[in-house]
Structure formats: C-alpha cells, structure tokens
Structure 1
Amino acid sequence: MKTLLPHWLLPNLQNLEEISMHHCDELVEILGAPTSEDKEKGIDALIKFHLPKLRELRLMKLPNLKSICSTSGVMVCDSLEDINVYNCDELKSIPPFVPLVGNGQPFAYAPPSLTIRSSTEWWESLEGDDHRNFKNVLHFNLW
C-alpha cells in the first residue's frame, strides 16, 4: 500500500477520529492527491482534505512516508489535537491544518489545541518555512 486514503474516499470518512499507521514499509502518503486520470476529468489540483472529527494522527516506523497529504492540499481538521511522529525519516514537511471558524473562514495555520510529539531530530529536519509557523501556535513535546 502506497497511499492510505485516496481523496475520493474522504467524504465517506467524516466520522473518522483517529489515524494510526505503524510498521508499513511501503506507505508513501497518508491522504492521496488526485491521480493524473482525475486531473484529466477536471478535478482541481488544490484539495481540502475535510476530516472534521479527526483528533489524533499517529505515524510510527514508516520509513518511506514522504507526506501526510499532497503538497497541493490542506487539511481542514477543526478537532485535531495530537500528532505523533516517530521513525518517519523521509517525512520532511507538515501540511497546513486549517480549522474553520463559525463563518467558514480559516482560523489560523493550525488548531490552537494541537500538540505535536516527535523527536528533536525529526523536527529539525523539516524543510521549508511552514513548520516555523507551527511554533507560534502549537505545543510541542520533543523526545
């Protein structure tokens, strides 16, 4: 398995509260982007991954995991509280998590209640400036 959840499956998973992946050597992506076939059908490259009840994302010992969601996607997860990352050395970025306020507008870069648990080495290996935005609004537990 290379992709855990393709984008077209997400509307059927609106009650999903936890994603926990462990010891899956072939997994490359958690939330899958549209395929080239989807793009030919006119599906927009920018995707909002709506998981309104997702509270926890646990990623452990996934040596080939490169992304949580596609680079052209954002995660709309108002209830996300905890992300655990352990031994996912190829994961080099964190996607934008965009909670929505009452009027449907983005609140911030991430839910204010979100805690990321990871090793200091992994945190320091993140590429780009996106992870720096998390430091302003998130609580971290680094091992």
Structure 2
Amino acid sequence: MTSVENLKVKYPRAQAWSIGDSAELANALADLVVKGKKTASCGSLAAYEAESVPPGVGSYHIILDGQQEPVCVIRITSLRLVRFCDVDEAFARKEGEGDLSLEYWRTEHQRFFTQAGNFSEEMELVAEEFEVVEVV
C-alpha cells in the first residue's frame, strides 16, 4: 500500500485528512469518493480559517480512510461560501451521501455541526468540489 509520505513526494504540498467524525464514516465517505459518487464536501468557515494552510482551488489532498490509510488523491476544483440554509439540492447530490436528497444532507450536516458545537442555520460553510486524480 502507498503511504502518505510516498504520496507527498508526488504531491508535495498535499494535506492528508479523512472525511467525517468517525472511522466508520471516514471509510464510507472515502469509498464514495473513490467510486466518483462524492464529488463535494463542506466545512464551517471557522474551521477553514483555523487551518494552518487552508485548501485552495487547484490544491491536492490525500483522502484517508478510517484507519488513516490513504485511499485516493483529490484536486479541489471549486470553493465557495454558502450559508447552511442556502445549500441547494444540487450541492447535496454532489456530496453523494444517503439518498442524495437535500433533506438527508440537512439532517446529517446539522447533526455533525451540532456535535462539533457550532451549528446555526445561518452559519457560513466553505463548499468545495473536487475530482479524483489518483486512486491508491
């Protein structure tokens, strides 16, 4: 298996991270990314601003599974700010989760942000879209 260190040689400024708030969810979401079903994700603007090197359009990222092993490399193709209450059906579908509906997206993301202690209907999110450039 390819290690994060080996991938960072090929993608020197790539950050490595998993999606979700549990190992089980990280595995499921990484699988959706690899299969091309998940082409978008989001996080709170506050979390984005707290990162030492926030992602930018064109940046590469190593997606990890729940065991912190790399599964693929993505490239960010789009970033935009959107309030939680303004996320639309098209973006929810690109997130690739559950039944792909906006209702499912709202329920799961409200749970996630509430658990993180920062949910608000008006909260600003960084909505990112990406493409898979390499499956490990």
TM-score normalized by the length of structure 1: 0.26
Q: Which has the higher helix share?
A: 2
- Structure with bigger RCO (C-alpha 8 Å, 6+ apart): 2
Structure-2-length-normalised TM-score: 0.27
